[in-house]
A and B are shown apart, each in its own frame.
Chain A
Amino acid sequence: MEKQDLKAVMDVKDLFFTYPGAPEPTLKKNNLTIYKNKITALIGPSGCGKSTLLRAMNRIHDLYPGAQYEGKIDLLNPETDKMENLLDLQKEDELIGLRQRVGMIFQKPTPFPMSIYDNVAYGLKLSGLKNKSELDGRVEKALKDAAIWKEAKDRLKESALGLSGGQQQRLCIARSVALKPEILLFDEPTSALDPISTGAIEELITELKKDITVAIVTHNMQQASRLSDYTTFMYLGDIIEFDETEKIFVNPSVKLTEEYITGRFG
């Protein structure tokens, strides 16, 4: 692997993760590096732990008490240029800060039951932004960045629930982008969408990587190969192989990876 102009923004080191009440860890000694302004895909059969790993990256697991982490997930602090272990964060406001830096898009679109404008402004208001004209500007910019401004600009005050599924998902991306996160985590963002909406979201994710680092869980092998720069293949809680996407899809070094990619199992 060539790594000259690559900068790691997140480094998962020997990570074990156990769900509340589960007898055994779901993730076993995972190691993975997420590079700045690259798209990293996590693939693998259902139940392999790819969503679990993604959800560890912004500690959303902590919503359900009893989740246990072991190991480290280092996150680059852009101010000091040093890596800091995000598993050390304990207080609620520290976790809130983490989630503002590491955003997340879910499988099903999750518009809040409020207007389109308020959906995008919600996170901004939470982060303390109150100035109306600044809010307006940030909302417009986010909607433009998420390629939904044209459809939304005349109905900003209307309920977000009236949008189509694909539009709702782009709104959710706009909502996250508005916070200017360093990393965006996508958990199968197109599996509930039709092919045209899927195309629009994929195009959008490719656009986003200019400013934001992306990690994406997907069941769709074509999507992983189309979108990503790096691919991680996971199986039964282990990371089997992590490499450049081209390498993984053309010439994987582990036999299991090849079998999965060629569709022999999974």
Chain B
Amino acid sequence: MNRLVLNKVVLTLSTISALIGIGFLFWILITLSYKGIASIQLSTFTNDLVEGGIRNLLVGQFTMALMATFIAVPLGVLAGIYLREYGENSRMTSIIRSLSDVMTSAPSIVIGVFVFALMVEPFGTYNGWAGVVALAIMMVPIIIGTTDNMLALVPKELREAGIALGGSKKQVIMQIVLKAAKVGVTTGILLSFARIIGETAPLLFTSANNQFFSMDLTDQFPSLTVSIYNLATYPDEASRELAWAASFILTAIVLFINLVGRYVTRHKQ
């Protein structure tokens, strides 16, 4: 009898906890959708920030995120390959692996400050490249981690089979092992992209913001997230409405990328 009562109590408590969690999530999403959708107009997408739209911000945010991806993907994937395929469980490997894990959870504002000291101070101006580098620094450890883990899932027999057919280690890794881990590695890249596309702190004092359309990464660069941060603090109604619209669009983008990532993992493995 006691066991049955205990079972009921635990079940009730965990159900309530789950409902509270989900409740808040939906509250956020519903408020965001309600306020966001109401504030979206066609001009939101066609105008730049200076005219009350977010066109330049979207382009800017994606430009920086894509540039960061171009830098982070080769670095992260190659480092992951080093750790799993060449590291041989040495001391050096385990130190790099732990450091990379720590970096995954490093506060993004700290990365922002670091890049500020490295790439903004010396040049005396906020610039897009600094934002790109800060985002890339955030991506690299995530990509290292997933690449490392996905390569670990490839059976060692597959490597041995490649070697036994007269492949060199390099050829077997690049042509067989990486191919076998392709889906996992790609998902890792997608998820790291989803992680950085919504980041504000690394951009706040690296690329800062720009009200006008710009493709010049050596100067202040337009950013959606930094704009949301700024707009939300302005007193006028129009700015705050634009902040809601931008927040909704950003959430939709992040959600979409995450869903694509999940879909790819589930259906292509």
- State the A residues within 8 Å of B (CB): 58, 60, 63, 65, 92-93, 96-97, 99-100, 103-104, 106-108, 110, 112-114, 122-123, 126-127, 172, 175-176, 179
Contacts and interface: CB of A to CB of B under 8 A. Distances in A.
Contacts of B158: 110, 112
Contacts of B155: 108, 110
Contacts of A60: 160, 163-164
Given A122-B165, A179-B166, A113 B180 contact: yes
B179 interface: yes
B198 interface: no
A175 B165 contact: yes
A63 B88 contact: no
B162 interface: yes
A103 B176 contact: no
Contacts of A114: 179
A265 to B, nearest CB: 29
Majority secondary structure of chain B interface residues (helix, strand, loop or mixed): helix
Interface residues of B, number: 21
B185 to A, nearest CB: 13
B164 A112 contact: no
B88 A65 contact: yes
Interface of B: 88, 155, 157-169, 171, 175-176, 179-180, 182
B166 A126 contact: yes
Contacts of A126: 165-167, 171
28 contacts: A58-B164, A60-B160, A60-B163, A63-B159, A63-B160, A63-B163, A96-B166, A96-B167, A99-B165, A100-B166, A103-B165, A104-B161, A106-B160, A106-B161, A106-B164, A107-B157, A108-B155, A108-B157, A110-B157, A110-B158, A112-B161, A112-B162, A112-B176, A112-B180, A113-B180, A113-B182, A123-B167, A176-B164
Nearest to B159: A63
A80 B165 CA distance: 24
A113 B179 contact: yes
Given A63-B159, A110-B158, A113-B179, A103 B164 contact: yes
A65 B85 CA distance: 12
Contact of A179 (B165, B175, B179): B165
A126 B163 CA distance: 11
B144 to A, nearest CB: 22
Of the candidates A106, A112, A127, A172, the one having the most CB atoms from chain B within 10 angstroms of its own CB is A112
A100 B167 CA distance: 9
B265 to A, nearest CB: 16
Contacts of B175: 122
Given A110-B158, A114-B179, 6 more contacts: A106-B157, A110-B157, A112-B179, A113-B176, A122-B162, A172-B161
A63 B88 CA distance: 11
A227 to B, nearest CB: 21
A126 B167 CA distance: 6
A181 B207 CA distance: 60
A92 B167 CA distance: 10
A149 B218 CA distance: 60
Contacts of B160: 60, 63, 104, 106, 110
B249 to A, nearest CB: 38
A107 B156 CA distance: 12
Contacts of A179: 165-166
Contacts of A172: 161
Given A108-B155, A108-B157, A112-B161, A99 B166 contact: yes
Contacts of B168: 92-93, 96
A176 B164 CA distance: 8
A104 B166 CA distance: 10
Given A65-B88, A113-B179, A127 B166 contact: yes
Nearest to B166: A100
Given A96-B167, A123-B166, A110 B161 contact: yes
